[in-house]
Amino acid sequence: MNVPTPEYIKDLRQDIGHKELLLPAVTAVVLRRDDDAGIPLPVPQVLLVKRSDDGRWGATAGILEPGEEPGAAAVREVAEETRVQARPVRVTGVSDHGQVVYPNGDICRFLDIAFELEYVSGQPQPGDDEATAAGWFPVDDLPEPFVKQHRERIRWALETGAPARFRQ
């Protein structure tokens, strides 16, 4: 299954073809530090999704819609992909997620704003066609295969109170 392309991207592609397109994106690292009774977990858990396009596990991520605030996009992506409600805590980093070349030849580069979010409610389950599975995992025992860049985003989120990272 392929991740659906938003209509405004399809419109842009009519003008620029397959050329590289810079897109604003968010990575939403949702953490649970306490269980449902409020007791601290021995190891924090992170909410992960298994991508339908390549089978890799990672944090919830996606591109912003025109006019959308980044924090709202992070919350929306989590709800759409996992049916979990979460709230933003802080921006943990801003970085180039790297160039992606899609099977149809489209080239994108994602400017990623990484967020730490805290769990509010809901049971993880795939909420749309972008994920085939969703669940909580101990941060020290992540499933494979895994999205390489998301390991770094999870480390950033675990550093409570640390300033946002900006790559040089």
Query: Does 70 sit behind a cis peptide bond, omega within 30 degrees of 0 on the bond before it?
Result: no
Give the residue, 8 or 26, on which the prediction is more confident: 26
Please report whether residue 168 resides in a domain: no
Query: What digits encode the pLDDT tens for the residues 85-131?
Result: 999 999 999 999 889 898 899 999 999 999 999 999 999 999 988 89
Q: Which domain holds residue 102?
A: 7-160
Query: Judging by beta carbons within 10 Å of its beta carbon (0-12, 13-18, 19+), is residue 42 exposed, middle or buried?
Result: exposed
Please report whether residue 165 resides in a domain: no
**Domain containing residue 115: CATH number:** 3.90.79.10
Compute the C-alpha angle 59/161/94, nearest 5°. Answer: 50
Query: What digits encode the pLDDT tens for the residues 44-76?
Result: 999 999 998 889 999 999 999 999 999 999 999
Q: Which stretch of DSSP H or E encloses residue 153?
A: helix 148-158
Lookup: tokens for 37: 């009774």
Please report whether residue 98 resides in a domain: yes
Please report whether residue 129 resides in a domain: yes
Please report whether residue 102 resides in a domain: yes
Number of domains in the chain: 1
CA distances from 156 to 27, 116, 131, 145, 149 (A): 11, 8, 23, 20, 11
Please report whether residue 2 resides in a domain: no
CA distances from 62 to 34, 111, 138 (A): 27, 11, 23
Q: How far is the C-alpha of 72 from the C-alpha of 163, rounded, in Å? A: 20
DSSP 98-118: EEEE-TTS-EEEEEEEEEEEE
Query: Judging by beta carbons within 10 Å of its beta carbon (0-12, 13-18, 19+), is residue 110 exposed, middle or buried?
Result: buried
Q: Is the pLDDT of residue 157 over 70?
A: yes
